[in-house]
Amino acid sequence: MTRNEHQLSQHTQNIVREKIALRAHRLWEERGSPIGSSEEDWFRAEREMRTVKSDMQLQRDVSEELKWDPAVNAEQIRVEVKDGVVTLAGRVEYFAEKWAPNGPPSECLASRSWPLR
């Protein structure tokens, strides 16, 4: 792992910890802000965060899936992910190729939307 990759990894981990902390605080407030038992909210927030993939992970997973789809030339398709929404952009050779990725997303695609530009 290069130094830049390590820094990016550390930065990503810090962002995840911050998101967990914010979610845990909201859960604590929803429970009426009881004294003690903050670990319960932290662990619940952590479980929730682990079930949702990061945009970066989702982008990698979608890109990998496209490489394995014989109906798509993955090199010509750019995968963008923002807040869990996957957007595919690029050029396709045939009309059928445009609609190939719009089939049922595989399990790796934990996205709320699958728009095609």
pLDDT over threshold 60, residue 108: no
pTM of the model: 0.43
Check residues 9 and 4 and name the one with the higher pLDDT: 9
Check residues 52 and 57 and name the one with the higher pLDDT: 57
One-character DSSP codes across 32-79: T--SS-HHHHHHHHHHHHHHS--HHHHHHHHHHHHHH-TTS-GGGEEE
